[in-house]
Amino acid sequence: MTTLTVPSAPETRSARDAGAGDRSATRPGSKATRRGNAAAGIVAWVVALLFFFPVLWMVLTSLHSEPDAAGNPPKLFAPLTLDGYRTFFGSASGASPWPPLINSAEASVVSTLLVLCLAIPAAYALAVKPVRRWTDVMFFFLSTKMLPVVAGLLPLYIIAKQIGALDTMWYLIVLYTAMNLPIAVWMMRSFLAEVPPALFEAASLDGAGIVRTLRSVVVPIASPGIAATALICFIFSWNELLLANTLTSTVAQTAPVFLTSFVTSQGLFLAKVSAAATVISLPVLIAGFAAQDKLVQGLSLGAVK
Amino acid sequence: MRRTSLALAAGCAAALALTTSACGAGGGGGGGGGSDSINVLMVNNPQMLALQKHVGEFEKKTGIKVHFTVKPENDMRNQAAQDFQNQSGQFDVATLSNFEIPIYAKKGWLWSLDDIDAYKKDTSFDQSDIFPSMTKALSSDDKLYGEPFYGESSFLMYRKDVLAKAGVTMPEHPTWDQVAAAAAKVDGAEKGMKGICLRGLAGWGENVAPFTTVVNTFGGTWFDKDWNAQVDAQPFKDAATFYTNLVKEHGEAGAAQAGFAECLTALTQSKVAMWYDATSAAGSLEAPDSPVKGKIGYAQAPVKETDASGWLYTWAWAIQKKSSKQDDAWKFISWASGKDYLKTVGESDGWSTVPAGARESLYKNADYLKAAGPFADATLTALEAADPDDPGTQPRPAPGIQFVDVPEFTDLGTSFGQDLSAVIAGQKSVDAALAAGQKAATAVGKKYQGS
């Protein structure tokens, strides 16, 4: 029963490809197909550039002087300067960006680890050895994401005030963990559902307990999925603004909150904000590149289907 | 099997507890910082960033460490409101405007400076040097609740060369009729140049600010002294008709979307010949790299039935009632709004960048007058003439020149500002805008009539 699932995935994929081929009603290698491929390639490039353009524009703006950055029509070939970056690193006000960056890293990394620690066993219980009414459990997880964060903001603030958790890192970490846990469980469940159950049966026949199974079977096999889940949790926590903006002030301020402090109602700020945004995006970019191989495997494995 | 999963869950819970408590230890509780430190929330304006740069001198002198949280204006207002309203005590000091301070004071969210020992013992601060209009605007029930960091009024800025060429002389105290006539005359004086820039962008702090000063001097008011809404009364209607017609006929291009920044750009780039707005704009117009430096004349806010009509606005320091560090907080305020700080900034960053409009002595300082010469006198006159308690021709139920100092005014002003903006854009009639404004104002008035 279980051996069937493994080859089934490639089969469905090739079946789908064949279907697409049928629809275009051409033989492989024909002129029309080549033209179609070229068109698809161009469309892919255009879409990619379209998505990349705002990022490119942000980097370019960050390298311009403030008046050039605010110029209308935009000044593409204005002289480049690093002033925006100097301001970000505190040349104007002496405020260092490091404490907020470190806070962001701490909140993102710790909350992501906690999420994985909780989501993998939960997903195991939902995918490999489904608990009773596991679909209801999945829906319950999802339903926690249905309330807009802003609707819970005031209670969260008041609770934080009452327990003395305002402006503390641990409160943010707990919130980020709670915020990402449902997504992580959903993602991990679909990854684990792809793992051939025969492997678990084999592990159990060999006498592996649940911890051993998780450690020696689930984690190695699902590592692309874990990487994808971790990256997404990391990105969500790293970029979170609403909670951090409301619940932190001087001690636990995170990088996105620090970024907004460059916006001013008196004077120009586009270049400064672009420089800050560029620097703050870097860790996510680096994490993305580092995990690229695993990510491509992971994302094509389950979640996105 | 069951035991192992329980163990796993317990392990995870332990990990959670460990990491969070470890983080908590590093983080410190709400209102953080040691005994010799204060937390300051402030708006991200250039004057505040300069203060942040110089704060080391204060820390060295007093041994008090200052932690700043800097935010854009709207975020800062929200966070201050939230922190002060709940008396969370995260911030000892915050920058609040003369709109918030009397309201917060009435709610009991602020320390009255008169109750602080360090303020009473402070001999060097010299309260009498602060503009009396500022002291008044930051007081409630005769008690003082804040000190201005810098302040502004409003006045008329115009291109001397353009007006002279068109044969218009602008008096020092013009009337709105004179200004309207001048706007008609200089409209089109240069290619693409309009007569006057007036804010059209919707918002209680945008178009409603200059517009309310026009209402005041036309003899109108939002409320009479018994909180009866007066938005559909004749003087208010005259003011609305005058303001919107002037903008529509001789105002800047895209007027419905133009705020302070847009008008500043328009005057700097010779797209308009005159501009009625904040006195703080003059610093940018006379900046070394400004193309109109030296070409601008400054006249008092135009009037009709009153002697003066300039507004009053300030970013001031206030201390949260919840704070137990009121003495250290005062020492910080005394330094930031003090005379020596002006000197520090003037000498290290240039006199044109000092936080002006708070202390009268600055306008007797030769170095400052040299840098701010063209507009210093006009600013001084405007600041001295502004009276937040009596800005119009009739008694008012609440203080405020360009606003009515009640919390509801932000919503009331902004919704009316949107209608005013729609009138300027030609999408609404003055009557329709006033009818809607009257309805909203009546609802606000009713709340206070009962009390």
Rounded to 5, what percent of chain A is helix, strand, coil?
75, 0, 25
In this structure, the answer to whether residues B438 and B299 fall within a common structural domain is yes
Residue found by looking up tokens 């008329």 in the block: B156
Q: Does A149 fall in a domain? A: yes
Average pLDDT of the residues in A228-244: 93
Instruction: Tell me the pLDDT tens digit for each residue of B148-159.
Output: 999 999 999 999
Specify if B382 maps to a domain: no
Q: Rounded CA gap, A184 and B236, in Å?
A: 59
Task: Examine residue A155 and say whether the peptide bond preceding it is cis (omega within 30 degrees of 0).
Answer: no
pLDDT of residue B6: 45
Per-residue confidence (pLDDT) for residue B34, from 0 to 100: 57
Query: B184 touching A, CB under 8 A?
Result: no
Is there a single domain that holds both residue B174 and residue B146? Answer: no
Rounded to a whole number, what is the distance in Å from the CA of A292 to chain B's nearest CA?
28
Cβ neighbourhood burial of B309 (10 Å; 0-12, 13-18, 19+):
buried
Between CA B196 and CA B173 the distance in angstroms is 17
With 50 as the cut, is the pLDDT of residue A25 above it?
Answer: no
- Can you give the pLDDT at residue A67? 76
Alpha-carbon gap, residue B425 to B436, rounded angstroms: 17
Q: What does the alpha-carbon distance between residue B224 and residue A10 come to, in Å, rounded to a whole number?
A: 79
Is B256 within the bounds of a domain?
Answer: yes
Residue B348 touches chain A, beta carbons under 8 Å: no
Among A260-274, B36-50, B94-108, B275-289, the minimum mean pLDDT is found in A260-274
Segments forming the whole domain that contains residue A219: 93-301
Name which residue leads in pLDDT, B331 or A12: B331
Residue A251, in any domain of the structure: yes
User: What average pLDDT does the segment A26-37 reach?
Assistant: 71
CA distance B276 to chain A (A): 17
* Residue given tokens 């005379």 in the structure block: B339
Domain-embedded: residue A217: yes
Show the beta-strand stretches assigned E in B8-108.
37-43, 65-71, 93-97
Pair B430, B444 in one domain: yes
Long-range contacts of B8-15 (CB under 8 A, 24+ apart): B8/A121, B8/A210, B8/A211, B8/A214, B9/A121, B12/A114, B12/A117, B12/A118, B12/A121, B15/A114, B15/A117
| Number of structural domains found in chain B | 2
Residue contact B72–A263, C-beta within 8 A: yes
For B349-377, the pLDDT digits (tens) are: 888 889 999 999 999 999 999 888 889 99
Tell me whether B18 touches chain A (CB under 8 Å): no
- Does any domain span residue A60? no
Q: Which residue has the tokens 């990619």?
A: A48
Confidence of residue A250 (pLDDT cuts 50, 70, 90): confident
pLDDT at res. A300: 65
Mean pLDDT of A103-129: 93
Range of the domain at B218: 154-310+406-449
> Which pLDDT does position A103 carry in this prediction?
95
Please give the pLDDT value at position B290: 84
Q: Are residues B43 and B81 in the same domain?
A: yes
Task: Please answer yes or no on whether A158 and B86 come within 8 Å at the CB atom.
Answer: yes
Q: What is the mean pLDDT of residues B121-135?
A: 93
| b/e A277-305 (16+ beta carbons within 10 angstroms → b) | bbbbbebeeebeeebeebbeebbebbbee
In this structure, the answer to whether residues B84 and B101 fall within a common structural domain is yes
Do B353 and B437 reside in the same domain of the chain?
no
Number of residues in chain B:
451
Which chain B residues touch A264 with a CB distance below 8 Å?
Answer: 44-46, 72-73
Q: What is the pLDDT of residue B26?
A: 36
Contact B318, B98 (CB under 8 A): no
Whether B448 contacts chain A with CB within 8 A = no
B4 CB neighbours in chain A (<8 A) are 209-211
For residue B399, is it within any domain? no
Averaged pLDDT of chain A: 83
In chain B, whose CA is at the least distance from the CA of A261? B71
Statement: residue B19 has pLDDT above 80: no
Q: What are phi and psi of B28, to 5 degrees?
A: 80, 160
* Stretch A82-106: mean pLDDT: 88
pLDDT at A255 over 50: yes
Instruction: Please answer yes or no on whether A246 and B21 come within 8 Å at the CB atom.
Output: no
Interval B218-229 mean pLDDT: 95
The better pLDDT of the pair B74, B59 is held by: B59
CB-CB under 8 Å, B21 with A168? no
- Among A53-57, A151-155, A211-215, A280-284, the minimum mean pLDDT is found in A211-215
Q: Which residue of chain B has the CA closest to A95?
A: B52
Residues B280 and B183 in one domain: yes
Q: For all residues of chain B together, what is the average pLDDT?
A: 89
Whether residues B93 and B201 share a domain: the answer is no
pLDDT at site B414:
92
Chain B: closest CA distance from residue A9 (Å): 31
Best of A87, A159, A169 to disrupt the B interface (most B CBs within 10 Å) is A169
Q: With respect to residue A215, please indicate whether it lies within any of the assigned structural domains.
A: yes
Angle between helices A98-127 and A270-290 (to 10 degrees): 40
Q: How far is A26 from chain B (nearest CA, A)?
A: 56
Domain boundary among B359, B374, B389: B374
pLDDT at A11 over 90: no
Best residue of A166, A200, A257 to probe chain B, by most B CBs closer than 10 Å: A166
Q: Measured between CA atoms, how close is B284 to chain A, in angstroms?
A: 9
Considering only the beta carbons, identify the residue of B45, B67, B88 that sits closest to A250.
Answer: B67
Chain B residues within 8 A of A118 when measuring between CB atoms: 12
User: Do B282 and B184 have their domain in common?
Assistant: yes
pLDDT at A194: 82
For residue A185, the domain's CATH number is 1.10.3720.10
List CB contacts of B195: < 8 A, sequence separation 6 or more.
B182, B183, B184, B185, B186, B187, B249, B250, B251, B272, B273, B274
B187 and B300 co-located in one domain? yes
DSSP state of A64: S
Rounded Cα distance, A197 and A182, in Å? 24
B298: domain CATH number?
3.40.190.10
Residue B386: predicted pLDDT: 92
pLDDT digits (tens, 9 = 90+) for B151-186: 999 999 999 999 999 999 999 999 999 999 999 999
Min mean pLDDT across A14-23, B74-83, B188-197, B236-245 is at A14-23
Shortest Cα distance, chain B CAs vs residue A11, angstroms: 36
pLDDT for res B303: 96
Whether chain B has a CB inside 8 Å of the CB on A251: the answer is yes
Question: What residues 60-119 of chain A have any CB closer than 8 A to a CB of chain B?
Answer: 92-95, 106, 110, 113-114, 117-118
Structural domains counted in chain A: 1
CA distance B87 to B324: 12
The residue-averaged pLDDT of B201-210 equals 92
Q: Is the pLDDT of residue A215 over 60?
A: yes
User: Which residue of A170, A210, A214 is the best one to mutate when testing the B interface, meaning the one whose CB has the most B CBs within 10 A?
Assistant: A170
User: How confident is the model at residue A31, as a pLDDT?
Assistant: 75
pLDDT, tens only, A67-78: 778 766 677 788
Question: Could B91 and A214 be called an inter-chain contact, meaning their C-beta atoms sit closer than 8 Å?
Answer: no
Mean pLDDT of B392-409: 94
Asked whether residue A53 is assigned to any structural domain, the reply reads no
Chain A partners within 8 Å of B9 (Cβ): 121
> DSSP string of A14-47?
HHHHHHHHHHHT--TT-HHHHHHHHHHHHHHHHH
Do B244 and B146 fall into the same domain?
no
d(CA A259, CA A230): 24
Q: What per-residue confidence (pLDDT) applies to A305?
A: 40
**Mean pLDDT calculated for residue range A114-136:** 89
- Residues B88-111: what's their mean pLDDT? 94
The answer to whether residue B21 sits within a structural domain is no
Instruction: Name which residue leads in pLDDT, A18 or A194.
Output: A194
B259 shares its domain with B322: no
As a whole-number percent, the residues of chain B with pLDDT over 70 amount to 92
Percent of chain A with pLDDT over 70: 87
Residues B113-119, mean pLDDT to the nearest whole number: 93
Nearest by CB to A253, from B12, B55, B69: name it. B69
